[in-house]
Amino acid sequence: MMKGAILVISGPSGAGKSSLINEMLKRCDDVYFSISTTTREMREGEKEGREYHFISKEQFEKEIEEGEFLEWAKVHDNYYGTSLKPVKKALQEGKLVVFDIDVQGQKIVKRKFSNILTSVFLTTPSLSVLKERLSKRATDSKEIIQNRIKNALLEIEEIKNYDFLIINDDFQKALKELLCAAKVARLKTSLVDLENFIQTWKEG
């Protein structure tokens, strides 16, 4: 039986997921943040094993065939995926495993770990705010920004498949809500050996 829990956080690029997750991780104990593997180019300021594990397309496809990924998806012509082994290890150790993955990945994780999964969709107050944030970030070309906006319009339709919606209009408020979701993830009754608890309760 898995002793830990899973918290999936999804949302459009530019919604502030990374900043909020980084702050959440500083305030939570016994957490394993799942670092994705990707075939996209490393951006300026990024480091191997911190933001992502960067590998070639050929290596990624080889690992797909070998069943090494919990979930994987192709987004903006690049592969992104989550290695299965460290996730299982963290769950056995009773940790809260945090994922920053897209809506395609969330569906796969939900199918495999539905009884220990809590999911959060994090977004901006509106599409216009998202466009503004993506433009101000100045890390992507106009073409990539357009792709991200197109993707966001599809992702927003998936909100109904998540447990919680967090609107990142006020950073501190959004952070408090994310910390609450992390606590809820640990409290789900499905994480407890219920039959054992009921028997112990009757005997106590």
Which CATH number do you get for residue 22? 3.40.50.300
Q: Is residue 122 part of a domain?
A: yes
Q: Is residue 11 part of a domain?
A: yes
Instruction: Judge contact between 187 and 113, C-beta under 8 A.
Output: no
Task: Name the pLDDT band for 143 (thresholds 50, 70, 90).
Answer: confident
- The H-or-E segment that residue 137 falls in is helix 127-137
Q: Is residue 42 part of a domain?
A: no
Domain count of the chain? 1
pLDDT at 85: 83
Q: Is residue 83 part of a domain?
A: no
| Nearest to 158, CA basis, from 120, 128, 188, 112 | 120
The pLDDT of residue 190 is above 80: no
Q: Which domain does 134 fall in, by range? A: 5-34+95-203
CA distances 132 to 3, 39, 124, 127, Å, are 42, 27, 10, 9
Q: What is the pLDDT of residues 49-95, one digit of tens each?
A: 888 889 999 999 999 999 989 888 888 889 998 888 888 889 999 99
Q: Is residue 88 part of a domain?
A: no
Q: What is the pLDDT of residues 16-33, one digit of tens each?
A: 999 999 999 999 989 999
| pTM for this entry | 0.80
Task: Give the whole-angstrom CA distance, residue 100 versus residue 32.
Answer: 12
Q: Is residue 153 part of a domain?
A: yes
Sign of the dihedral defined by the CA atoms of residues 79, 80, 83, 88, in that order: negative
| Nearest to 128, CA basis, from 160, 169, 157, 166 | 169
Q: What percent of the chain has pLDDT over 70?
A: 97
Distance of CA 12 to the CA centre of its chain: 12
Q: Is residue 60 part of a domain?
A: no
Structure tokens at 80: 């992104």
